[in-house]
């Protein structure tokens, strides 16, 4: 195939006529002698895409071939198509004996080459224009030229049809290029879409895995926290009992320092546990703060506070739960508010049972202990039926048989109105609200603050303390 760039501008014109003189006339009119500026016209047309004018439609820009019969003309068009250099237009005579006439030749030309432009040339037109259109079909590629024709008419008609053909080919080329670009861009978009979908799926998988890992981490930390707090409840509780009970004034300093060391290090361990529990929330930026009333005894370590001043420091009467008949050592009673508080303790840990019972019984409370939620429900409802209801229930939330959440719900469903305080080693974010949602009136986490426990029980038992009296 010719690689000359000007081939795109050259117009191939086929003359199909049985008279040689007609071919000579068309060559003179269309090809003619080359003008001096023909090469310049070629350059301008190629570089700037300008239309070929009638004046420039001469010389090397036109290539004319001849056929003297319809079959021969069809063969020329077929070869031109095969060579990749199709004819722009054809001038076809109507009367061409022997063989096909011009109308049949044009019909077959249109079937063979859907782009070729045709001018029918005849002096004696054997068909009306309507008959011609009926045989060939409606088309904008067909014109009629009567013989004898004017040179200017031929030149103008040729220039117009060639320009039309050229613009059509340029449009096709641009459409083809656009379609190719669209196809390539579509492939890129589809590729990017598939990559994004794959990435999105990977991110979803990673997110799901991270959520599973976080849940597992949270459950692990909650379990560890629960076990540590249960153990620390007994360690801290009995350490304070040892420190506060007995002949503390006559105890050797080494004993006090040893107990204080246990207490101090237990609190330090509890602080570490709290920091570990908060770390996942800090990492995720979801750490919430909660403002709660703080009922703690005086500042400093246990070794820094005299036992006799503990009640005064917290404004709590150390014997506020005792009945008047239990008053000893000549103490004056606040008599209208003094009575024996009945407390039901639901706790499955034997050490914590002994500790909490010891703390409350030391103040004169009547404490009944059960080891699971089912027993707590039965005991509470039985006491109500016997007209000896409990003033308050201290409910551990993690127990066998029936946990504290379901036990509380069952009691509330049975219209049990007495106070229920959640006493639990679950201290993760949201655990307090979970207990309140189950029907508890208040929440206290382990390890237990002895003084806070006393004040909390007194509050829900309706017993006046030194704090409220003053």
Residue 35 belongs to some domain of the structure: yes
- Report yes or no: 355 and 446 within 8 Å, Cβ to Cβ: no
Residue 304 belongs to some domain of the structure: no
| CA distances for 461 relative to 90, 164, 343, 393, angstroms | 115, 105, 9, 10
pLDDT of residue 135 exceeding 80, the answer is yes
Residue 165 belongs to some domain of the structure: no
pLDDT of residue 217 exceeding 60, the answer is yes
Specify the CATH number for the domain of residue 134: 3.40.50.2300
Q: Select from 82, 117, 149 the last residue of a domain.
A: 149
Residue 305 belongs to some domain of the structure: no
Give exposure, 61-81, as e/b (b: 16+ Cβ within 10 Å): bbbbbbbbbbeebbebbeebe
Please give the residue that has the higher pLDDT: either 250 or 135: 135
Residues 6+ apart with CB under 8 A from 243: 256, 259, 260, 263, 302, 307
Q: Say what percent of the chain tops pLDDT 90.
A: 43
Distance from C-alpha of 402 to C-alpha of 407, rounded to nearest angstrom: 6
- Coil/strand/helix, residue 437: helix
- Tell me which residue of 404, 310, 301, 313 sits closest to 363, measured CA to CA: 310
Residue 375 belongs to some domain of the structure: yes
pLDDT of residue 44 exceeding 90, the answer is no
Residue 84 belongs to some domain of the structure: yes
> What value does the mean pLDDT take over residues 79-89?
95
Q: Select from 149, 171, 187 the last residue of a domain.
A: 149
Q: Select from 149, 170, 187 the last residue of a domain.
A: 149
Query: What confidence score (pLDDT) does residue 469 get?
Result: 41
Query: What confidence score (pLDDT) does residue 320 get?
Result: 43
Query: What confidence score (pLDDT) does residue 390 get?
Result: 97
- Coil/strand/helix, residue 67: strand
Separation of first and last alpha carbons in the chain: 114
Residue 247 belongs to some domain of the structure: no
Residue 235 belongs to some domain of the structure: no
Q: How many domains does the chain have?
A: 2
The parent domain of residue 59 ranges over 5-149
- Report yes or no: 106 and 118 within 8 Å, Cβ to Cβ: yes
Looking at every residue in the chain, the average pLDDT score rounds to 79
User: Among 137-151, 283-297, 395-409, which is the least confidently predicted range?
Assistant: 283-297
- Tell me which residue of 450, 441, 250 sits closest to 361, measured CA to CA: 450
């Amino acid at each position: 195939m010719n690689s000359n760039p000007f081939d795109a501008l050259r117009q191939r014109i086929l003359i199909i006529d049985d008279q040689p003189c007609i071919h000579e006339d068309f060559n003179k009119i269309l090809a003619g002698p080359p003008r001096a500026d023909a090469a310049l016209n070629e350059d301008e047309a190629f570089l700037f895409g300008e239309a070929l004018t009638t004046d420039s439609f001469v010389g090397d820009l036109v290539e004319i071939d001849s056929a003297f019969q319809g079959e021969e003309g069809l063969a020329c068009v077929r070869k031109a198509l095969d060579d990749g250099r199709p004819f722009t237009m054809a001038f076809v005579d109507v009367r061409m004996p022997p063989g096909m006439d011009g109308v049949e030749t044009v019909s077959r030309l249109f079937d063979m080459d859907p782009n070729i432009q045709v001018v029918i040339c005849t002096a004696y037109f054997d068909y009306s224009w309507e008959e011609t259109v009926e045989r060939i079909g409606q088309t904008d590629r067909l014109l009629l030229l009567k013989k004898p024709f004017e040179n200017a008419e031929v030149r103008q008609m040729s220039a117009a049809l060639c320009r039309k053909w050229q613009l059509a080919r340029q449009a096709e080329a641009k459409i083809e290029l656009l379609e190719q670009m669209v196809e390539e861009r579509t492939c890129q978009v589809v590729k990017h879409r598939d990559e994004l979908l794959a990435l999105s799926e990977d991110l979803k998988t990673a997110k799901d895995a991270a959520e599973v890992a976080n849940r597992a981490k949270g459950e692990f930390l909650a379990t560890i926290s629960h076990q540590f707090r249960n153990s620390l409840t007994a360690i801290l509780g009995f350490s304070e009992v040892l420190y506060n009970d007995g002949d503390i004034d006559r105890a050797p300093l080494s004993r006090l320092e040893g107990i204080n060391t246990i207490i101090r290090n237990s609190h330090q361990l509890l602080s570490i546990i709290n920091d570990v529990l908060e770390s996942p929330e800090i990492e995720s930026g979801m750490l919430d703060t909660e403002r709660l009333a703080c009922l703690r005894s005086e500042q400093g370590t246990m070794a820094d506070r005299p036992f006799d001043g503990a009640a005064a420091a917290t404004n709590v009467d150390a014997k506020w739960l005792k009945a008047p008949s239990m008053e000893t050592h000549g103490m004056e009673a606040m008599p209208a508010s003094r009575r024996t508080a009945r407390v039901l303790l639901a706790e499955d840990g034997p050490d914590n049972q002994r500790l909490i019972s010891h703390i409350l019984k030391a103040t004169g409370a009547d404490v009944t202990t059960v080891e699971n939620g089912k027993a707590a429900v039965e005991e509470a409802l039985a006491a109500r039926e016997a007209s000896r209801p409990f003033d308050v229930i201290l409910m551990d939330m993690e127990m066998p048989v029936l946990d504290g959440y379901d036990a509380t719900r069952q009691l509330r469903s049975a219209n049990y109105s007495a106070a229920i305080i959640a006493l639990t080693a679950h201290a993760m974010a949201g655990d307090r609200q979970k207990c309140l949602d189950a029907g508890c009136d208040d929440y206290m986490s382990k390890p237990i603050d002895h003084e806070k426990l006393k004040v909390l029980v007194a509050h829900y038992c309706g017993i006046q303390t030194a704090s409220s009296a003053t």
